[in-house]
Amino acid sequence: MTADAAAAAHLSALLGRFARAVAAHDADGFASLFTPGGRYHDGFFGVHEGRETIAAMLERFYVGGEAFFWQFSDVLASSDLGYARYVFSYRSREPESAGQVVVFEGIAQLRLRDGLIAEYDEAFDRGIAFTQLGYELPRIGKLLGRYSREFTASSAARAHLAARPDRAGRPPGGA
């Protein structure tokens, strides 16, 4: 087995434990999959650093939902970096959609250290989830506007815009 194949097998097993801990509402078990200073960037709840805050984030999941089910696939990894596609679903407890199963797909990016997750970031279409949650269009627009502003203010977006030869670092809509 090549080093990358072994890394992908390890990450697949780690993601299996990740999914089982979320489904079991095992906040401490979930947090133990992260390094002590690990970072989880959730597409809904933002950035959480450290095992204690990551465990608290999982508890927050269960305020608005239940019956969480995560399926990871197409896992790729090196010794310190991994990616996986996922399909994620849960039953909503939100007033607008109580009992409704919400489902969407995304991509997870993980930085690994000593066999644990040092950083977890995800990308998914929040609008699909918000629509299934029954949010009214003005609320969806407000939420997506906030996420857009956060991203365009990020160091990654600023560096990208600065590298554009035709935009010379001006943000979208800028003069």
Beta-bridge mates of residue 72: 86
pLDDT tens-digit readout, 86-97: 999 999 999 999
pLDDT tens-digit readout, 62-101: 999 999 999 999 999 999 999 999 999 999 999 999 999 9
**Which pLDDT value is given to residue 172?**
58
The whole-angstrom separation of Cα 87 and Cα 130 is 16
Any idea which fold 3-134 has?
A: Nuclear Transport Factor 2; Chain: A, (3.10.450)
Beta-bridge mates of residue 50: none
pLDDT tens-digit readout, 115-140: 999 999 999 999 999 999 999 999 99
Q: Which helix (H) or strand (E) holds 153?
A: none
More confident residue, 171 or 91: 91
- Tell whether pTM > 0.85: yes
Beta-bridge mates of residue 84: 108
Structural domain spans, the chain: 3-134, 136-166
| CA 175 to chain CA centroid, nearest Å | 33
pLDDT tens-digit readout, 1-44: 788 889 999 999 999 999 999 999 999 999 999 999 999 999 99
- Describe the strand order of the beta sheet including 65-77 as a list of residue ranges: 46-49, 34-42, 116-124, 101-113, 81-92, 65-77
**Which pLDDT value is given to residue 3?**
80
